Amino acid sequence: MIQMNQIHTTFREARLRHNITLSLLIKDTNIDPRAVILLDQQNQGTPEHIDQLLASLSRLSGTEYSRRTKNIHAITFKLHPDYESITPDQLAAVLRCSDDE
């Protein structure tokens, strides 16, 4: 049963609810870290990356997240996401955290 506060959950909110780090998602998917950050911070990505990250979130959390379940909202599908909007400092911070784990 979905609680009311879960109806409009973003990817980031679901990730934080389950205490899943960006570095865990990067390690689990082997996706370009910028794609992981972009979905987490700006709710956008390619359909393939979004599906991979939702599957990873499902595996790591034990809760199913997918386009089919419609329990993650505010995602924008883009064929050419703006990876350049992720600053080198943001990327370095995420990669630094993954080195610490």
- Interval 60-88 mean pLDDT: 93
- Kindly report, residue by residue over 12-65, the tens digit of the pLDDT: 999 999 999 999 999 999 999 999 999 999 999 999 999 999 999 999 999 999
pLDDT reported for residue 48: 97
- Give the start-to-end residue ranges of the domains of the chain: 8-100
C-alpha closest to that of 56 among 65, 68, 67: 65
13-31 core/surface letters (b: 16 or more CB in 10 A; e: else) = ebbeeeebbbbbbbebbeb
Q: Which residues pair with 76 in a beta bridge?
A: 44
pTM value is: 0.86
Topology (CATH level 3) of domain 8-100: 434 Repressor (Amino-terminal Domain) (1.10.260)
Q: In the predicted model, what is the mean pLDDT of residues 74-94?
A: 93
